[in-house]
Structure 1
């Protein structure tokens, strides 16, 4: 059995953020073995590293790209080899990661996504029904879209923070909808001010009710804001996630003016005690 590291990403507190498994010596593992390990770890994703190549598995499926597990992987590599920059090869494409050690010893990582794109959202009414939301629950200023920055996410904006806080959805119905439209998560967001957002991410296709921090969705959401002209780049977006789950997470999203450029997502990661 290879060594499995456990880190919480997008936090400097092991009790916060999104836990990820990281296997740094995965070269001898096949897909079935990786899937079994990820299922046993039980986190929303476990990353398997073979040189510069990385694969990501949830408890039920392989996903092309996972932001929080990328941040965790970058920090684990920095702990082993020292901070710096490297390029990780994923199923979604090459992802540049840059790590640095902050005052106090915490290591932060910044990933740069693949080129993003945004498109119209399919059959939003079915998604709303599965979420037990109505059209009146949506913020008209942030229209539904599907955004991609390594994985596909349906973006739905809540009109109120209270609507976002009350998450009780039909797991199987939402999973069926997402599978039908090749969606990795549903990114539910609430806009606090021009550059501050709160987010929640149901992930039933991976066998997980909700992610406490979703870097891939944060990158996709940044691309969405830029593509729809909802922010003026260059700009930094702050996303708070996990508060409603008791695992507060902080995701920083930086956008360049070029609409075809990758999105930068920054966060810390810390080891989770084996005990």
Structure 2
């Protein structure tokens, strides 16, 4: 049956009230996975979040044009803002479930926006092999003079490569070969590559996330990769970070992460007034 579908657009991980990653959020519906993959495409966003309230928990499912993701950080921020706006009041707290894992989330109203954060879960990390580096760096366009030490393969749900470069200028200059990068990531089983600038003395970090394997050549905001970076930096004594993303796409975003006392990941989100409608096949 063909039905009209209404979705809400939430701009997640704003920077100083602007930019952010437009994310489709909607209540759970009886859709097949192919139709779920069509939703972000039809809505004009990179990701869609399906929200289902089940007793005391809220279940989240995340989709891109290429398929389902076990976790999505900025999608979780968007879902928390969506739930908080619907609940009303000054603060929303709930237990969320995604990828088979329950975790706590909250969103605090700040005028027309919401500051949301949640527990990202454990991060698995290892040093990449020389073959992995050799496959990925050429299509990224990273050369020995711009590569900094400390690359890691890290995972929250799915593995991705964290690659440090020497400066924000080196990061901004990247122009990846997306076909080559997708082939390399597919071969290695990687979600994508999160390239970041070495933290400055003041703690400033910028990053870009390239994930053509999931249908997102470059992500405006990638919070789970930021959580992976935060876990890695915590081992070196850095316990709080704020990472700027999205500048290369004209939509500035900022993601915050802390490692202690309990890991938290978040950002500021705004629920857009516009609700988009389109037709999908509901089973």
| Equivalent residue, structure 1, for 2:37 | 35
Given that 2:23 and 2:78 are in contact with CA atoms closer than 8 Å, whether structure 1 keeps it comes out as yes
Choose 1 or 2 for highest CA Rg: 2
Higher strand fraction (1 or 2)? 2
Structure 2 unaligned spans of 5+? 277-283
| Equivalent residue, structure 2, for 1:272 | 272
| Equivalent residue, structure 1, for 2:19 | 16
Write out per-residue CA displacement over residues 213-234 of structure 1, whole angstroms, 9 at most, x where no aligned residue: 11111111111212xx3224xx
Structure 1 unaligned spans of 5+? none
Runs of 4+ in 1 over 3 A off after TM superposition: 12-15, 272-275
Given that 1:78 and 1:84 are in contact with CA atoms closer than 8 Å, whether structure 2 keeps it comes out as yes
Write out per-residue CA displacement over residues 134-165 of structure 1, whole angstroms, 9 at most, x where no aligned residue: 2221112xx11111233322100011221100
| Equivalent residue, structure 2, for 1:162 | 169
User: Within 2, Cα distance between the matches of 1:243 and 1:148?
Assistant: 25
| Equivalent residue, structure 1, for 2:229 | 221
Q: TM-score, normalised by structure 1?
A: 0.88
- 3-state secondary structure, aligned to 1:167: coil
Structure with larger RCO (C-alpha < 8 A, sep 6+): 2
User: Within 1, Cα distance between the matches of 2:270 and 2:173?
Assistant: 29
What are the within-5 Å matches in structure 2 for residues 1-275 of structure 1?
1-11=4-14, 16-23=19-26, 25-51=27-53, 52-82=58-88, 83-91=91-99, 93-102=101-110, 104-122=111-129, 123-140=132-149, 143-194=150-201, 195-226=203-234, 229-232=235-238, 235-256=239-260, 263-272=263-272, 274=274
Aligned length: 263
Aligned-residue RMSD, C-alpha: 2.0
